[in-house]
Amino acid sequence: MNLENTISNPQPTSLNRSSFIVSAIAIIAMSLVLLTGCASRSRFTPGVLRMNLGTEPPAIDWHITTDATSGDVIVNIMAGLTQYRKNLSAAPSCAESWEILDDGKRYVFHLRNDIFWTDGKPVTAYDFEYAWRRIEDPKTGAGYADFLNDVVNAKEINTGKIKDLTQLGAHALDAQTFEVRLKKPAAYFIYMTAHWATYPMRQDVVEKHKDRWTEPANIVTNGPFKLDRWQHDYKIELAANDKFFEGRPALDRIKMFMVAEQSTAFALFENDELDYVDNRSFSTHDVDRYRDSPYYKRVPLLQGTYIGFNCLKKPFDDKRVRRAIAMAVDKNVFPKLLRRGERPSNSWIPQEIPGSSSDAALTFDPEAARKDLADAGFAGGKGFPSVPLLYPNREDTRLIVESIQAQLKQNLGITIELLNQEWKVYLATRRQDPPQLFRANWIADFPDAQTFMNLFTTGNGNNHTRWSNKTYDKLVETAEGELDQKKRVGLYQQADRILCHDEAAIVPTFVTTQNLLLKPWTKGIEFNALDIQFFKTGRIDDSNESLNKVEPPAEIIKPATKPIEPANSEVKKP
Amino acid sequence: MKKVKRDVFSRLKRIPTAHFSMWVVGIICLIALLSYLNVPLTPYSFDQTSETVLLGPSMAHWMGTDELGRDVLTRVIYGSRLSISIGIITALVGFLVGTLYGAIAGYVGGKVDSVLMRIVDIAYSLPDLLVMILLGVLIGRGTVGILLALALTSWRGTARLVRAQFIQLKNEEFVEAARAQGQNHLLIVLKHMLPNSLGPVIVAMTFTVPAAILSESTLSFIGLGLSPPACSWGTLASDGWRALRTHPHLIFFPSSFIFMTVLAFNFLGDGLRDAIDPRTRI
């Protein structure tokens, strides 16, 4: 009966149609709910850390590369003689103990016998010997070759004066003992053995695969993780190394994405597709929004930012022009622009490190700047060429260089051009043919003034200013060999003043702070003032205990800078 | 001819959207012109930084300030200079090149026509954005690169349009009459055919302007535009969108100007088409 009615009556048909639409909408809505429900359930995968590298690492070969992005990968797949503790002192790693002999001029490292490469072969002192010879071999073209300048014959081999690599003062006495001879005592030397430039390397692997030895299929490493996949310009995947000598790390897998755009990366983080963000993905605008979050953390960094001059190119071959630029830039503006805990620089050595002083650099003085510029023949900025200022393609650097451009125009009446390049291209340009002005930064390799001051000595591979000053070189060299901390600090202060005040080869702008925002499930990652992110202690899980949350707001970490006294040539046991 | 013009104008005025758009376009072009002549419309200079960064709109700064403390209104006005001039220059270049090209193809006809038109087909098959990016890389950033890139893609439509008009007009009786009188080709084209084909071409031109403004914004947005501190609406929007969630005024004002201008030009083009076409009733 009802059935007949429905058929004969046109009204219910339309009802049927509308009910069809209603049910269709209901089905779609339900499936949407289900889908989003699924998404919210898998906000993270336990044991898998997803982070943003920000850019493709130029190379993984730890002799070729000098940049921090590559470092982030290398420190997690390799282990060196020593490693940094959280307070930045050197702790045993591959070496279980070491002796300091001959008034600090000879180091003997005793290696553990239970360390293996990812292909199962043991790590021996010969692997260190090969690596140290390779980094000094001029054929390698290592950016960090100068790093080991204190080692006997290192400089001579690197500059080609000595052809025989075995003359290098670093020898494997046997498979478990590695001996290093230094030209002069160096208070900071033990820190260097924790740096990735001094990591061991496998001769057979490098020689077999040549340029392609760092490809995931070829590379052999000894660290907590191994390089599993490398999809260029997209992501790198690391997998836990079951055979790691300190024990298998808690994380199974690390996915390192390469998202250059800060805002894109931050959107990924907010969408639960990254487990934490740091400065690379955390712009000022986003910091403003999360300033009060319990998961927001600040870690001071020993990272100085500066404007470099190419001191061989006109008009910056004239130090009056350089001084004029230095005095025309108000450094107090930068922290206000970036608002991420930056500190304006009064010297090239950051204030946390002994050797820094409050008045080493030229201060903001537009009057004096205009006078110096006029003395150099550019009164009122007239006749000043339009020089380029090179900067890498990162959003926060644009603000800084635009501000400098505006300040120079306002205070000196000169116009500079801004030249923006992608990270790899920028690094290559800076190395091969640095333009008149460039923005650069330097993160300490170890917590000592040496890492900042040696950078600008004549012939240092990372001294892109091409500036050369005999007095400065001499002061830095003396300071490096000086073991009396007080005298050493004095020498560095003098050198700093020559660099940033008298000669103004660079304009130190500010010291950065690492800004971090973590997901509640991201725990245990060690962030230190050297900006080395060690993932071996990291965890991704939803246990209630939240290490990062309860930690007090980060303070300035006072790095351990006590020099190792040569008198007590002790044997350190872990 | 004068009467025709007056007629078109009065017909245009009868379309409210077009009439209103005419005013909007006029005002924006005037602002751009004044900015070009360096007439100070605001108390600030476009690259003048200050301590007051990221202020919202206020009495002192009607559109607020940006990350470096620069007045956004001043920068939007300065940006109009480039955005508008790029729109107009591109349209003019497209008009001149396209008309010449289409006129030759349509008037001469035969093999010349097929060769010329195949070239247009090829030019059409290249993706615009790709061509612009390649050119941008070759020539480098700056106004010249952007202009050349846009001009290179703007003439093709006009060329096709003019050619079609010419083929149609070629066989009209008044053209035949002129030819019979022994007038030379140039005179026939300039005096008889061109004025009669201009209507749709002018309409097409008014549509090229907003398209060019948008293309410039796109190029600037993806980072191939001007280098700082110079700015256009595109670079302003590109710099501003990062602050979308905290300081939306940085993207709101430049992009609303892009939106307004593009919309006004499009309405104007629509109106012109209706006004020129004698068959539509207004």
Nearest to B242 among A263, A403, A419 (CB): A263
CB contact under 8 A, A410 and B49: yes
CB contact under 8 A, B67 and A284: yes
* Beta strands A437-443 and A533-534, pairing class: unpaired
How many of the other CB atoms lie within 10 Å of CB of A442?
20
User: How far is the alpha carbon of B53 from chain A, nearest alpha carbon, in Å?
Assistant: 8
How far, CA to CA in Å, does A532 sit from each of A145, A372, A424, B59? 20, 41, 20, 47
Answer yes or no: is A71 within a domain: no
Answer yes or no: is A466 within a domain: yes
How far, CA to CA in Å, does B12 sit from each of B20, B166, B264, B273? 10, 26, 14, 9
From chain B, pick out residues whose CB is under 8 angstroms from the CB of A418.
Answer: 227-228
Task: Give the global pTM.
Answer: 0.74
Rounded to 10 deg, the angle between the B194-221 and B128-139 helix axes is 70
Nearest to A403 among B68, B242, B243 (CB): B68
Answer yes or no: is A493 within a domain: yes
* Beta strands A225-231 and A177-181, pairing class: unpaired
The single-letter code of the amino acid at B192 is H
Number of domains in chain A: 3
Answer yes or no: is A67 within a domain: no
From chain B, pick out residues whose CB is under 8 angstroms from the CB of A409.
Answer: 47
Considering the domain architecture, whether residues A146 and A223 belong to the same structural domain is answered as: no
Interface of B with A in 3-22 (CB under 8 A): none
Nearest to A409 among B47, B243, B246 (CB): B47
Nearest to A406 among B49, B241, B245 (CB): B49
CB contact under 8 A, B67 and A419: no
Measured between alpha carbons, how far is B261 from B80 in angstroms, rounded to an integer?
10
Considering the domain architecture, whether residues A165 and A252 belong to the same structural domain is answered as: no
How far, CA to CA in Å, does A266 sit from each of A260, A346, A395? 11, 32, 13
Task: Enumerate residues 6+ apart whose C-beta is below 8 A from A23.
Answer: none
CATH of the domain at A17: 3.40.190.10
Considering the domain architecture, whether residues A495 and A348 belong to the same structural domain is answered as: yes
Which has more confidence, A34 or B211? Answer: B211
Nearest to A285 among B47, B48, B245 (CB): B245
The reported pLDDT for the residue numbered A556 is 37
CB contact under 8 A, A285 and B243: yes
Residue A258 and residue A55 in contact, taking contact as beta carbons nearer than 8 Å: yes
Mutate to test the interface with A, among B45, B242, B244 (most CBs of A within 10 A): B242
Measured between alpha carbons, how far is B74 from B258 in angstroms, rounded to an integer?
15
How many of the other CB atoms lie within 10 Å of CB of A542?
11
* Beta strands A90-92 and A82-84, pairing class: antiparallel
Band (pLDDT 50/70/90 cuts) for residue B28 is: very high
How many of the other CB atoms lie within 10 Å of CB of A28?
10
pLDDT digits (tens, 9 = 90+) for B247-271: 899 999 999 999 999 999 989 988 8
Q: Which two tokens stand for residue B30?
A: 């005037």
**Bridge partners (DSSP) listed for residue B24:** none
Q: What is the DSSP letter of A94?
A: S
**Which residue, A420, A456, A422, A455, is CA-closest to A438?**
A420
Considering the domain architecture, whether residues A51 and A102 belong to the same structural domain is answered as: no
Considering the domain architecture, whether residues A324 and A342 belong to the same structural domain is answered as: yes
Considering the domain architecture, whether residues A365 and A260 belong to the same structural domain is answered as: no
CB contact under 8 A, B242 and A418: no
Interface of A with B in 230-269 (CB under 8 A): 262-263
Instruction: Provide the residue ranges of all domains of chain B, joining segments of one domain with +.
Output: 2-42+65-276
CB contact under 8 A, A285 and B48: no
Which of B16-20, B79-83, B135-139 is the least confident region?
A: B135-139
Residue A145 and residue A69 in contact, taking contact as beta carbons nearer than 8 Å: no
Mutate to test the interface with A, among B45, B46, B47, B224 (most CBs of A within 10 A): B47
User: How far is the alpha carbon of A337 from chain B, nearest alpha carbon, in Å?
Assistant: 7
Nearest chain A residue (CA) to B225 = A420
Q: Locate all alpha helices (DSSP H) within B53-127, ordered by sequence.
A: 72-108, 110-125
Interface of B with A in 219-248 (CB under 8 A): 223, 227-229, 241-243, 245-247
How far, CA to CA in Å, does A505 sit from each of A296, A320, A500? 37, 11, 6
CB contact under 8 A, A283 and B228: no
User: How far is the alpha carbon of A514 from chain B, nearest alpha carbon, in Å?
Assistant: 20
The reported pLDDT for the residue numbered A173 is 95
What are the DSSP calls for A116-178, one per residue? B-TTSPBP-HHHHHHHHHHHH-TTT--TTGGGGTTBTTHHHHHTTS---GGGSSEEEEETTEE
CB contact under 8 A, B47 and A263: no
Measured between alpha carbons, how far is B61 from B43 in angstroms, rounded to an integer?
10
Measured between alpha carbons, how far is A541 from A44 in angstroms, rounded to an integer?
8
Q: Name the residue range of residue A356's domain.
A: 301-513
Q: Locate all alpha helices (DSSP H) within B171-243, ordered by sequence.
A: 173-180, 185-187, 194-221, 233-240
Considering the domain architecture, whether residues A288 and A305 belong to the same structural domain is answered as: no
Q: Which two tokens stand for residue A16?
A: 């049927």
Band (pLDDT 50/70/90 cuts) for residue B73 is: very high
Measured between alpha carbons, how far is B250 from B130 in angstroms, rounded to an integer?
28
Measured between alpha carbons, how far is B40 from B35 in angstroms, rounded to an integer?
7
Mutate to test the interface with B, among A337, A397, A400, A404 (most CBs of B within 10 A): A337
**A186 φ/ψ angles, rounded to the nearest 5 degrees:** -135, 115
Q: Which two tokens stand for residue B189?
A: 């084209």
Residue A44 and residue A519 in contact, taking contact as beta carbons nearer than 8 Å: yes
Angle at Cα A148 formed by Cα A142 and Cα A152, nearest 5°?
Answer: 120
Interface of A with B in 318-377 (CB under 8 A): 336-337
Considering the domain architecture, whether residues A331 and A463 belong to the same structural domain is answered as: yes
CB contact under 8 A, B227 and A419: yes
Q: ipTM of the assembly?
A: 0.73
Measured between alpha carbons, how far is A494 from A511 in angstroms, rounded to an integer?
20
From chain B, pick out residues whose CB is under 8 angstroms from the CB of A403.
Answer: 49, 68
* Beta strands A388-392 and A417-421, pairing class: parallel
CATH of the domain at A379: 3.10.105.10
Considering the domain architecture, whether residues A152 and A274 belong to the same structural domain is answered as: no
Task: Enumerate residues 6+ apart whose C-beta is below 8 A from A303.
Answer: A350, A441, A442, A443, A444, A511, A512, A531
User: How far is the alpha carbon of B169 from chain A, nearest alpha carbon, in Å?
Assistant: 53
Answer yes or no: is A461 within a domain: yes
**Bridge partners (DSSP) listed for residue A98:** A109
The reported pLDDT for the residue numbered B215 is 86
Residue B84 and residue B28 in contact, taking contact as beta carbons nearer than 8 Å: yes
The reported pLDDT for the residue numbered A241 is 95
Average pLDDT, chain B: 86
Give the neighbor-by-neighbor strand order of the sheet with A235-240.
A48-52, A253-257, A235-240, A225-231
Considering the domain architecture, whether residues A36 and A103 belong to the same structural domain is answered as: no
Nearest chain B residue (CA) to A388 = B227
Residue A33 and residue A237 in contact, taking contact as beta carbons nearer than 8 Å: no
> What is the percent of chain B with per-residue pLDDT over 90, rounded to a whole number?
28
With a cut of 50, list the residues of chain A below it in pLDDT.
1-15, 37-40, 546-574
User: How far is the alpha carbon of A483 from chain B, nearest alpha carbon, in Å?
Assistant: 46
Considering the domain architecture, whether residues A442 and A476 belong to the same structural domain is answered as: yes
Considering the domain architecture, whether residues A196 and A220 belong to the same structural domain is answered as: no
Nearest chain A residue (CA) to B248 = A285
Q: Which two tokens stand for residue A150?
A: 């204190």
CB contact under 8 A, B67 and A399: yes
CB contact under 8 A, A420 and B227: yes
How far, CA to CA in Å, does A208 sit from each of A43, A125, A202, A508, B50? 43, 20, 10, 44, 59
Residue B251 and residue B18 in contact, taking contact as beta carbons nearer than 8 Å: no
Measured between alpha carbons, how far is A396 from A513 in angstroms, rounded to an integer?
13
User: How far is the alpha carbon of B10 from chain A, nearest alpha carbon, in Å?
Assistant: 49
In this structure, the dihedral spanned by the alpha carbons of residues B199, B202, B204 and B207, taken in order and rounded to 10 degrees, is -140
Q: Which two tokens stand for residue A437?
A: 């002005």
The single-letter code of the amino acid at A155 is K
Out of 1.10.1040.10, 1.10.3720.10, 1.10.1660.10, 3.90.79.10, the CATH code matching B2-42+65-276 is 1.10.3720.10
Residue A403 and residue A334 in contact, taking contact as beta carbons nearer than 8 Å: yes
Nearest to B229 among A337, A405, A420 (CB): A405
Mutate to test the interface with A, among B52, B70, B71, B227 (most CBs of A within 10 A): B227
CATH of the domain at A152: 3.90.76.10
Answer yes or no: is A438 within a domain: yes
From chain B, pick out residues whose CB is under 8 angstroms from the CB of A417.
Answer: 227
CB contact under 8 A, B246 and A288: yes
Measured between alpha carbons, how far is B114 from A113 in angstroms, rounded to an integer?
81
Radius of gyration of chain B from its Cα atoms, rounded to whole angstroms:
22
CB contact under 8 A, B228 and A405: yes
A346: helix, coil or strand?
Answer: coil
Measured between alpha carbons, how far is B60 from A35 in angstroms, rounded to an integer?
49
With an 8 Å Cβ cutoff, is A289 touching chain B? yes
From chain B, pick out residues whose CB is under 8 angstroms from the CB of A405.
Answer: 47, 228-229
